A and B are shown apart, each in its own frame.
Chain A
Amino acid sequence: MNCEELRSDYAAWAMGTAEDPERSEITAHLERDCDVCVPGVRSALATVTSMSLAVRQVDPPRRLRKRILALVMPEPGKSWFSFWLPWAVSAAFALALLIVVIPRAATPPAAHPGETAYKEVIDILNDPLTKDAAFGEPAARGRFFVSPSKGVVFIAAHLPTLDPGRTFEMWVIPDGGKPIPAGTFHALPDSTAVYFHQGPVSAAAMAISVEPDGGSPQPTTTPIIVTKL
């Protein structure tokens, strides 16, 4: 489609309401720095952004500022978990979890385990090829960050309480293939969890199921979380 045909859909694209073929066509024009579509979409985005000023303003809780600053200003003595992922409120537990979940072979022997995991997690978050996918209630809410070459970071809140002898297990689901186990983990006492799986991943979807301690080679229960990428 040419630019003239797409002009009337700039606003819908900017609001996220455009549909194919116009949506993908506009995106393609933007990717090649189209002289017509880039300024057109930019103007539409400015209008949509202006609309945020029409929203009735609400004071956020004071704790939110602290939470956000904790992302970049870790207090002395806290681990990288609370630095990046405030849901993981227990630094000691998080570090212990991290040590457990990182494959031994993947951890350089001379490195401090927390520092190593920190770097690996940051690499995943910063990887331009990383896809992230959110999931919501009723089981839990959170997000997967999946780097095809580096691994998966999983963060979640409101996870269900498990019976004794049960654990959460992560699954990588390839396109058209069977789920591949990607390690087990437990939630923190506040029902949050942060889990890091290192290594190349080819996933069309990610899932979490509840399995017997030690994990299973294939899911034995209906996954509580399934998220397409």
Chain B
Amino acid sequence: MHAAPAFSPPLVLVLTSHPYPFSSQQRYHLQSADRMILPALILALELSGEHDEELALRLRRKEPQAMADLYDRFGRLAYSVILAVVRDASLAEDLVQETFLRVWNRAHAFEPGRGALGPWLLTIARNRAIDHIRSVGSRMQRNSSEFDAREHPSLFVDMERDVLNNDHARIIRLAMAKLNENQRKVIELAYYEGLSQTEMADRMDQPLGTIKTWVRGALKVLRAELGQEAAA
């Protein structure tokens, strides 16, 4: 199994554009030293959820243009997440396509007024990637119901709408930098390789209890930095 990639470093963004609303054709004008990373934050702004309701309604009505807008809003981030897991550009394209088709086919179950569309789509995207590397690696042949449960639209109801906004993009990188080496390692193994805690214990040659402690500790740090309500 490949080594998990390092998370990107913190970055700074200067916005010089109009606030919402915007169309898929509109573009933000940005100034930054890191042009490679900036588009992510453009998307991060677009992901803030202000238009989730309207877009979700159009998806439910099966309006083709809604798919175009959905892709313009989330396609790059979904592709990046999947590529980070599978490390194969061609395969990543296939899995992005599966992701959007899945959202399209299940949009009827999404509550437009209360659901967080971006987090739902990105959860599906990561699940598709993890599902693939597990099946290819012939490990953890889990029932697809596990993914179905984690992708259920009801879990994204009333989720904070700005979970993917630009502040979070900056903060999450800073938060990752605050994790100790072990915490960062277990998060990377979990996020990029989908390893179970038992597999992580084997990989890192540590007791399962230690791994669980590191995972909980890492998520606690991230939640605290993001200002999210503590769940555990």
A66 to B93, CA, bound (A): 11
Residues of B within 8 A of A (CB): 5, 7-8, 36-37, 39-40, 43-44, 62, 64, 67-68, 71-72, 75-77, 79-81, 83-84, 89, 91-94, 96-98, 100-101, 104-105, 116, 118-119, 122-123, 126-127, 130-132, 135-136, 141, 144, 146-147, 149-150, 152, 154-160, 163-164, 168-169, 172-173, 176, 187, 190-191, 194-198, 200, 212, 215-216, 219, 222-223, 226, 228-232
Pairwise interchain contact B232-A40, C-beta atoms closer than 8 A: yes
Which chain A residue shows the least CB distance to B150?
A: A16
Pairwise interchain contact B126-A42, C-beta atoms closer than 8 A: no
Give 3 closest A-B pairs by Cβ, nearest first.
A57-B40, A136-B136, A11-B219
A84 to B8, CA, bound (A): 35
Report A-chain residues with C-beta under 8 Å of the C-beta of B62: 72
Report A-chain residues with C-beta under 8 Å of the C-beta of B152: 30
Residues of A within 8 A of B (CB): 7-19, 23, 27, 30-31, 33, 38-61, 63-65, 67-69, 71-73, 84, 86, 125-126, 131-137, 141, 143, 157, 227-229
Pairwise interchain contact B215-A60, C-beta atoms closer than 8 A: no
Given A45-B155, A50-B172, A8 and B123 touching (CB < 8 A)? no
Report A217 CB to chain B, min CB distance, Å: 28
Pairwise interchain contact B212-A46, C-beta atoms closer than 8 A: no
Pairwise interchain contact B196-A227, C-beta atoms closer than 8 A: no
Report B109 CB to chain A, min CB distance, Å: 9
* Prevailing SS type, chain A contact patch: helix
16 A-B pairs in the complex with CB atoms less than 8 angstroms apart: A11-B216, A12-B212, A17-B194, A30-B155, A47-B223, A50-B222, A52-B81, A52-B126, A54-B7, A55-B77, A55-B81, A58-B76, A65-B72, A72-B104, A84-B101, A136-B135
Report B131 CB to chain A, min CB distance, Å: 6
Pick the contact of A57: B37, B98, B118 (CB < 8 A).
Answer: B37
A17 to B198, CA, bound (A): 9
A144 to B158, CA, bound (A): 33
Report B229 CB to chain A, min CB distance, Å: 5
Pairwise interchain contact B131-A134, C-beta atoms closer than 8 A: yes
Report B-chain residues with C-beta under 8 Å of the C-beta of A69: 64, 67-68, 71
